Amino acid sequence: MSKQKADVDFITNHDYHILLYLKDQFKDELEQLKIEVAKKKKKNDTNNNNNGHVNVFEDYRGPPMPDLMVRKIKEMMNKNDGDDNNNNNSNNNDDSFMKMIVWLGQKKIEVTDTNTHHNRLFFPKGSDDKLTAFCSDDENRAVRVTENSKNKKDDDKEAGDAPGRGLFVRVVDGDGDVWRKALLLKCWQSVNKIVFTREWNAYVKERGLKPEVLSLQLWCFRDAQNKLCFAVNAVPTIPAN
Protein backbone atom coordinates (compact mmCIF):
# COMPACT_ATOMS: atom_id res chain seq x y z
CA MET A 1 0.00 0.00 0.00
CA SER A 2 1.37 3.39 -0.98
CA LYS A 3 1.99 6.02 1.66
CA GLN A 4 -0.51 8.38 -0.04
CA LYS A 5 -3.30 5.79 0.05
CA ALA A 6 -2.52 4.95 3.66
CA ASP A 7 -2.77 8.62 4.61
CA VAL A 8 -6.18 8.91 2.85
CA ASP A 9 -7.49 5.80 4.62
CA PHE A 10 -6.30 7.12 7.97
CA ILE A 11 -7.97 10.50 7.45
CA THR A 12 -11.22 8.88 6.27
CA ASN A 13 -11.37 6.52 9.23
CA HIS A 14 -10.41 9.29 11.62
CA ASP A 15 -13.19 11.60 10.36
CA TYR A 16 -15.70 8.77 10.44
CA HIS A 17 -14.98 8.02 14.08
CA ILE A 18 -15.23 11.71 14.95
CA LEU A 19 -18.69 11.82 13.37
CA LEU A 20 -19.74 8.74 15.31
CA TYR A 21 -18.48 10.32 18.51
CA LEU A 22 -20.38 13.57 17.86
CA LYS A 23 -23.55 11.68 17.01
CA ASP A 24 -23.43 9.77 20.29
CA GLN A 25 -22.39 12.85 22.22
CA PHE A 26 -25.38 14.95 21.12
CA LYS A 27 -27.95 12.17 20.72
CA ASP A 28 -29.57 12.82 24.09
CA GLU A 29 -29.63 16.58 23.54
CA LEU A 30 -31.33 16.19 20.15
CA GLU A 31 -33.97 13.86 21.55
CA GLN A 32 -34.68 16.26 24.40
CA LEU A 33 -34.98 19.15 21.96
CA LYS A 34 -37.52 17.20 19.88
CA ILE A 35 -39.57 16.50 23.00
CA GLU A 36 -39.56 20.17 24.05
CA VAL A 37 -40.61 21.32 20.56
CA ALA A 38 -43.47 18.79 20.49
CA LYS A 39 -44.66 19.92 23.94
CA LYS A 40 -44.59 23.58 22.95
CA LYS A 41 -46.52 22.90 19.73
CA LYS A 42 -49.16 20.89 21.61
CA LYS A 43 -49.53 23.68 24.19
CA ASN A 44 -49.93 26.35 21.49
CA ASP A 45 -52.48 24.24 19.62
CA THR A 46 -54.51 23.85 22.79
CA ASN A 47 -54.38 27.52 23.78
CA ASN A 48 -55.08 28.94 20.32
CA ASN A 49 -57.59 26.41 19.05
CA ASN A 50 -60.67 28.08 17.57
CA ASN A 51 -63.39 25.90 16.05
CA GLY A 52 -60.77 23.33 15.15
CA HIS A 53 -58.44 25.86 13.54
CA VAL A 54 -55.39 27.49 15.09
CA ASN A 55 -54.89 31.22 14.80
CA VAL A 56 -51.33 31.28 13.49
CA PHE A 57 -51.49 34.93 12.50
CA GLU A 58 -51.23 36.56 15.92
CA ASP A 59 -47.90 38.15 14.96
CA TYR A 60 -49.48 39.74 11.87
CA ARG A 61 -52.25 41.77 13.45
CA GLY A 62 -52.04 44.79 11.23
CA PRO A 63 -52.54 48.40 12.32
CA PRO A 64 -54.40 49.34 15.53
CA MET A 65 -58.16 49.12 15.22
CA PRO A 66 -60.35 52.21 15.80
CA ASP A 67 -61.60 52.36 19.36
CA LEU A 68 -65.30 52.18 18.43
CA MET A 69 -64.67 49.14 16.24
CA VAL A 70 -62.88 47.35 19.09
CA ARG A 71 -65.72 48.06 21.51
CA LYS A 72 -68.34 46.72 19.11
CA ILE A 73 -66.32 43.55 18.41
CA LYS A 74 -65.90 42.94 22.14
CA GLU A 75 -69.64 43.41 22.54
CA MET A 76 -70.30 40.86 19.79
CA MET A 77 -67.90 38.47 21.51
CA ASN A 78 -69.51 39.14 24.92
CA LYS A 79 -66.10 40.22 26.18
CA ASN A 80 -66.83 43.77 27.35
CA ASP A 81 -65.53 44.19 30.90
CA GLY A 82 -67.47 47.37 31.67
CA ASP A 83 -64.33 49.52 31.67
CA ASP A 84 -64.02 50.13 27.93
CA ASN A 85 -65.42 53.66 28.20
CA ASN A 86 -62.33 54.61 30.18
CA ASN A 87 -59.84 52.79 27.98
CA ASN A 88 -57.87 54.41 25.22
CA ASN A 89 -57.28 52.88 21.79
CA SER A 90 -53.95 51.25 22.67
CA ASN A 91 -55.45 49.48 25.67
CA ASN A 92 -58.35 48.19 23.60
CA ASN A 93 -55.88 46.69 21.13
CA ASP A 94 -54.25 44.55 23.83
CA ASP A 95 -52.57 41.23 23.08
CA SER A 96 -55.24 39.00 24.59
CA PHE A 97 -57.93 40.63 22.45
CA MET A 98 -55.91 40.80 19.23
CA LYS A 99 -55.06 37.09 19.42
CA MET A 100 -58.72 36.48 18.58
CA ILE A 101 -58.52 38.68 15.48
CA VAL A 102 -56.99 37.78 12.10
CA TRP A 103 -55.53 40.61 10.02
CA LEU A 104 -56.37 39.98 6.36
CA GLY A 105 -54.68 43.00 4.82
CA GLN A 106 -55.29 46.40 3.26
CA LYS A 107 -56.18 47.34 -0.28
CA LYS A 108 -56.86 50.52 -2.20
CA ILE A 109 -60.46 50.72 -3.38
CA GLU A 110 -60.39 50.30 -7.16
CA VAL A 111 -62.95 51.66 -9.60
CA THR A 112 -64.18 48.11 -10.25
CA ASP A 113 -64.77 47.66 -6.50
CA THR A 114 -67.43 50.39 -6.63
CA ASN A 115 -68.85 49.58 -10.06
CA THR A 116 -72.55 48.78 -9.58
CA HIS A 117 -72.40 46.28 -12.44
CA HIS A 118 -69.82 44.16 -10.59
CA ASN A 119 -71.33 44.46 -7.10
CA ARG A 120 -68.28 43.01 -5.36
CA LEU A 121 -65.09 43.73 -3.44
CA PHE A 122 -61.95 41.75 -4.17
CA PHE A 123 -60.12 40.88 -0.95
CA PRO A 124 -56.50 42.04 -0.42
CA LYS A 125 -53.73 39.97 -1.94
CA GLY A 126 -52.46 37.28 0.42
CA SER A 127 -55.67 37.11 2.45
CA ASP A 128 -56.97 33.86 0.94
CA ASP A 129 -54.67 31.51 2.86
CA LYS A 130 -55.27 33.33 6.15
CA LEU A 131 -59.03 33.17 5.74
CA THR A 132 -58.96 29.51 4.69
CA ALA A 133 -56.98 28.60 7.81
CA PHE A 134 -59.33 30.55 10.07
CA CYS A 135 -62.54 29.10 8.60
CA SER A 136 -63.99 25.72 9.51
CA ASP A 137 -64.28 22.98 6.89
CA ASP A 138 -68.01 23.69 6.51
CA GLU A 139 -67.36 27.40 6.03
CA ASN A 140 -64.70 26.73 3.42
CA ARG A 141 -67.05 24.42 1.54
CA ALA A 142 -69.77 27.08 1.61
CA VAL A 143 -67.45 29.81 0.34
CA ARG A 144 -65.83 27.85 -2.47
CA VAL A 145 -67.78 26.94 -5.58
CA THR A 146 -68.02 23.19 -6.21
CA GLU A 147 -68.48 21.28 -9.46
CA ASN A 148 -72.14 20.69 -8.55
CA SER A 149 -72.89 24.32 -7.82
CA LYS A 150 -70.77 26.41 -10.15
CA ASN A 151 -73.21 26.35 -13.06
CA LYS A 152 -76.39 26.94 -11.05
CA LYS A 153 -78.02 30.34 -10.93
CA ASP A 154 -76.77 32.49 -8.07
CA ASP A 155 -79.94 34.09 -6.70
CA ASP A 156 -81.31 34.85 -3.25
CA LYS A 157 -83.10 31.52 -2.99
CA GLU A 158 -79.99 29.46 -3.65
CA ALA A 159 -77.23 31.60 -2.13
CA GLY A 160 -75.90 31.37 1.37
CA ASP A 161 -74.50 28.79 3.80
CA ALA A 162 -74.58 25.86 1.37
CA PRO A 163 -71.64 24.22 -0.48
CA GLY A 164 -70.45 26.64 -3.12
CA ARG A 165 -73.29 29.10 -2.47
CA GLY A 166 -71.37 31.48 -0.26
CA LEU A 167 -71.56 32.43 3.39
CA PHE A 168 -73.58 35.32 4.81
CA VAL A 169 -71.45 37.35 7.23
CA ARG A 170 -71.84 40.43 9.42
CA VAL A 171 -69.51 43.39 8.97
CA VAL A 172 -68.41 45.99 11.54
CA ASP A 173 -67.03 49.33 10.31
CA GLY A 174 -64.58 51.78 11.85
CA ASP A 175 -67.38 53.67 13.62
CA GLY A 176 -68.47 50.52 15.43
CA ASP A 177 -71.62 50.12 13.33
CA VAL A 178 -72.75 46.69 12.18
CA TRP A 179 -73.93 46.78 8.57
CA ARG A 180 -77.72 46.33 8.56
CA LYS A 181 -77.57 43.57 5.94
CA ALA A 182 -75.33 40.52 5.74
CA LEU A 183 -72.77 40.48 2.94
CA LEU A 184 -72.18 37.30 0.96
CA LEU A 185 -68.65 35.89 1.18
CA LYS A 186 -67.68 33.81 -1.84
CA CYS A 187 -64.76 32.61 -3.89
CA TRP A 188 -65.22 33.47 -7.55
CA GLN A 189 -63.88 30.47 -9.40
CA SER A 190 -63.34 32.33 -12.67
CA VAL A 191 -60.62 34.49 -11.10
CA ASN A 192 -59.98 32.41 -7.95
CA LYS A 193 -60.54 35.40 -5.66
CA ILE A 194 -62.42 35.88 -2.39
CA VAL A 195 -65.10 38.58 -2.62
CA PHE A 196 -67.84 40.35 -0.71
CA THR A 197 -70.92 40.44 -2.90
CA ARG A 198 -74.74 40.55 -2.75
CA GLU A 199 -75.32 43.80 -0.79
CA TRP A 200 -71.92 45.30 -1.59
CA ASN A 201 -73.32 48.06 -3.83
CA ALA A 202 -75.58 49.25 -1.00
CA TYR A 203 -72.65 49.16 1.42
CA VAL A 204 -70.49 51.28 -0.91
CA LYS A 205 -73.25 53.86 -1.34
CA GLU A 206 -74.18 54.15 2.33
CA ARG A 207 -70.57 54.26 3.54
CA GLY A 208 -69.50 56.71 0.82
CA LEU A 209 -66.55 54.59 -0.34
CA LYS A 210 -64.58 56.40 -3.03
CA PRO A 211 -62.21 54.59 -5.40
CA GLU A 212 -58.54 55.60 -5.26
CA VAL A 213 -59.29 58.07 -2.43
CA LEU A 214 -59.92 55.43 0.26
CA SER A 215 -58.38 52.10 1.19
CA LEU A 216 -59.93 49.30 3.23
CA GLN A 217 -58.37 47.47 6.17
CA LEU A 218 -59.88 44.02 6.77
CA TRP A 219 -59.90 41.69 9.77
CA CYS A 220 -61.99 38.61 10.58
CA PHE A 221 -63.13 37.26 13.94
CA ARG A 222 -65.84 35.15 15.59
CA ASP A 223 -68.77 36.40 17.64
CA ALA A 224 -70.17 34.83 20.80
CA GLN A 225 -72.09 32.29 18.68
CA ASN A 226 -68.87 31.34 16.87
CA LYS A 227 -70.13 32.91 13.64
CA LEU A 228 -67.59 34.25 11.16
CA CYS A 229 -67.62 38.08 11.10
CA PHE A 230 -65.52 40.82 9.52
CA ALA A 231 -64.20 44.23 10.49
CA VAL A 232 -63.77 46.74 7.66
CA ASN A 233 -62.15 50.11 8.26
CA ALA A 234 -61.89 52.82 5.58
CA VAL A 235 -58.74 54.98 5.69
CA PRO A 236 -57.31 57.60 3.30
CA THR A 237 -55.17 56.15 0.54
CA ILE A 238 -51.53 57.17 0.84
CA PRO A 239 -50.24 58.20 -2.60
CA ALA A 240 -47.28 56.20 -3.90
CA ASN A 241 -43.97 58.04 -3.93
pLDDT per position as a tens digit, 91-113: 556 777 778 899 999 999 999 99
Question: Which residue range is the domain that position 177 belongs to?
Answer: 53-236
**pLDDT classification of 238: cutoffs 50, 70, 90:** confident
Q: What is the pLDDT of residue 79?
A: 80
How many structural domains is the chain composed of? 2
Residues 57 and 46 in one domain: no
Task: Give SS3 for 196.
Answer: strand
Over the stretch 108-166, which tens digit does the pLDDT of each residue have? 999 999 999 999 999 999 899 999 999 999 999 999 865 444 444 444 444 555 556 79
Look at residue 220 and tell me whether its pLDDT is greater than 90: yes
Please indicate, yes or no, whether residues 71 and 151 belong to a single structural domain of this protein. yes
Q: pLDDT value at position 55?
A: 41
Same domain, 26 and 94: no
d(C-alpha 34, C-alpha 56), whole Å = 21
Mark whether 227 and 127 lie in a shared domain. Answer: yes
What's the mean per-residue pLDDT of the chain?
76
Cα 38–58–216 angle (5° rounding)? 150
**Do residues 42 and 117 both lie within one domain?**
no
Q: What is the pLDDT of residue 12?
A: 62
Whether residues 26 and 140 share a domain: the answer is: no
- Domain assignment present for 184: yes
Q: For residue 208, tell me if it sits in a domain.
A: yes
* Residue 7 DSSP one-character state: H
Say whether both 121 and 210 belong to one domain.
yes
Same domain, 87 and 206: yes
Evaluate whether residue 241 is within a structural domain.
no
How far is residue 127's CA from residue 163's CA, in Å, rounded to a whole number?
21
Q: Are residues 99 and 201 in the same domain?
A: yes
Q: Report whether pLDDT(69) > 70.
A: yes
Same domain assignment for residues 86 and 183: yes
Name the band, by pLDDT with cuts 50, 70 and 90, for residue 41.
low
Q: What CATH number does the domain containing 74 carry?
A: 2.40.330.10
pLDDT tens figures, 153-200 = 444 444 555 556 799 999 999 999 999 889 999 998 888 889 999 899
